[in-house]
Amino acid sequence: MGSCEHLERTSMYFDGELLPAEERDAADHLATCEECQAVLSDAVGLHAVLSRAQPAVVPIMRRRRWQLAAGAAALVVAAAIAIVVLRPKPQPSPDHVALVLPAKRSLEARFTGAVTGKFRPYESPSDRAHEAIDMRALAELEQRGDTRDLVGALAVTGELVRAAEVARKTPTDAAAFSDLAGIALASGDPEGALDFAYQALDKNGELEAAHWNLALAARKLKYWRVSRAGFALVEARAEPGWAVEAKQHVALLDRELTRGGDIVKLRAQFQLLVKAGSVRATIADPGFRGDDIAEFERRSRSILEDETPIELADVRRFPSHALKFLAESLQGATPDIVEGLEPVARALDKIAASHVATSMLTTRRDPFAEVTSFDEHCKNDIYAVPCVPLAWQLARQQLADGNVTDAEHIAQAGRDLALREFIPVDYTLFAEIHRKANRSALARADAEEARLTTP
């Protein structure tokens, strides 16, 4: 048994089973190790004998390569030692490991590699499980310089920091920015993803992966219309797989955007109720019977005709809007109307655990008309409708005074209320705030959302 620990590697070197980097190390070692040189010489001689006597036993797929391994130590002696190394023929070498991905992707984001960018259905993992990929395949991608697939492969295995480092090696490339957006999404940074996606599209407006990642980031940030526009573009491109998934996203966003239609119907119902005059007989609470909109509308139309009772369950569905409509109904209301609205006021105060609504019946005044502190008066969602415009007003005052941080805080609180209660958001105000806060990606999305909101 030989004493050199590299004898096995020398045999693998002769058989062509080493990676390129390992081959270089083996050749350097051969140049100075007589024991490994002897093993290699024996292997070459045996191969030559077998090649002449039994050519059929030589593997057909082996490749033959001649390499000269010259020892550095031999340079100091009188005669140079040259080692001729016989190597197998070219073949799909055993050290080649293809990048193979699972049938379903664990990240919703999209990457730009030839392999990692192919469509695979998204399956949300039950935890932060990562895809299993042969580490040898990752090493080969790195040796080949296949940056795009390496970034995507690292990302899906959970190596997000390493993936970002590789992507930043080509910082002016649109694909790199798009991949960085995907990494930011996987890292839970939708604002960063939005920024990278915009940079990618500024470089290449046709890059579908960037549109996809932009749509994902916008959805997470609740820019519903910006998100829908991105997914709609991918759907229109009709890419296999991606278009179908994009269509599903569009349908979900359409549902989100149209839910506010129920609010419009509720407003019409309250207006009819007040117009009917004697409202005491029109209010009843026979129990919740679902949210059938057709029945909801039928009862609304019937108020003027025969004072069919309107259910308080409908008021409870949208209490914040009901509070506003109550205030509107009290303007110029007769005593009979005020008395008839008492059940509505009591129901709203029960939800809010307050006396705001019933006090409105007594004073005929809007308790939010002169509010100057958003946090103090607007913690309850039932006050969203009067508080949202108050948030815009106070945010503008703070912005005018140069208090950008306070303006952003108040405006964001108002936006949260508005989105929960389907109240229009002042995106023009947000664009101004985000520009002054140097959050350019958000300012850009604000402006785009405002443009898409305008009929």
CATH label of the domain that carries residue 167:
1.25.40.10
Among the listed ranges 80-89, 184-193, 304-313, 360-369, which one has the minimum average pLDDT value?
80-89
Predicted pLDDT at 54: 45
- Per-residue pLDDT averaged across 203-208, rounded? 96
Task: Please indicate, yes or no, whether residues 348 and 408 belong to a single structural domain of this protein.
Answer: no
Task: Please indicate, yes or no, whether residues 267 and 352 belong to a single structural domain of this protein.
Answer: yes
| DSSP-derived pairing of the beta strands 310-311 and 283-284 | parallel
Predicted pLDDT at 439: 96
In a domain, 122, yes or no: no
- Per-residue pLDDT averaged across 93-100, rounded? 69
Predicted pLDDT at 403: 95
> Does the structure show a pLDDT above 80 at 203?
yes
- Listed residues 229, 255, 281: the one ending a domain: 255
In a domain, 165, yes or no: yes
Q: Name the residue with higher pLDDT: 106 or 97.
A: 106
- Listed residues 23, 55, 89: the one ending a domain: 89
To which H or E segment does residue 284 belong? strand 283-284
Task: Please indicate, yes or no, whether residues 247 and 266 belong to a single structural domain of this protein.
Answer: no
Predicted pLDDT at 304: 43
Task: Please indicate, yes or no, whether residues 167 and 140 belong to a single structural domain of this protein.
Answer: yes
Residues recorded for the chain? 455
Helix extents (H) in 354-439:
356-363, 374-377, 384-400, 404-421, 427-436
Structural domain tally of the chain? 4
Predicted pLDDT at 317: 74
Task: Please indicate, yes or no, whether residues 33 and 47 belong to a single structural domain of this protein.
Answer: yes
In a domain, 14, yes or no: yes
Task: Please indicate, yes or no, whether residues 343 and 438 belong to a single structural domain of this protein.
Answer: no
Task: Please indicate, yes or no, whether residues 27 and 78 belong to a single structural domain of this protein.
Answer: yes
111 burial level (CB within 10 Å; 0-12, 13-18, 19+): buried
pTM, whole model, 2 decimals?
0.65
> Does the structure show a pLDDT above 50 at 82?
no
**Confidence band for 297, pLDDT divided at 50, 70 and 90:** very low
Q: Name the residue with higher pLDDT: 32 or 212.
A: 212
- Per-residue pLDDT averaged across 128-151, rounded? 86
Query: What are φ and ψ of residue 259, in 5° steps?
Result: -60, -25
In a domain, 219, yes or no: yes
**Confidence band for 73, pLDDT divided at 50, 70 and 90:** very low
d(CA 23, CA 16): 9
Predicted pLDDT at 453: 87
In a domain, 99, yes or no: no
Task: Please indicate, yes or no, whether residues 311 and 296 belong to a single structural domain of this protein.
Answer: yes
Task: Please indicate, yes or no, whether residues 250 and 265 belong to a single structural domain of this protein.
Answer: no
Predicted pLDDT at 386: 80
Predicted pLDDT at 441: 97
Task: Please indicate, yes or no, whether residues 233 and 287 belong to a single structural domain of this protein.
Answer: no
> Does the structure show a pLDDT above 80 at 182?
yes
In a domain, 42, yes or no: yes
* Domain with 319 in it: 261-363
Helix extents (H) in 187-281:
190-203, 208-220, 224-237, 242-258, 261-275
d(CA 446, CA 191): 12
For residue 145, the one-letter residue type is G
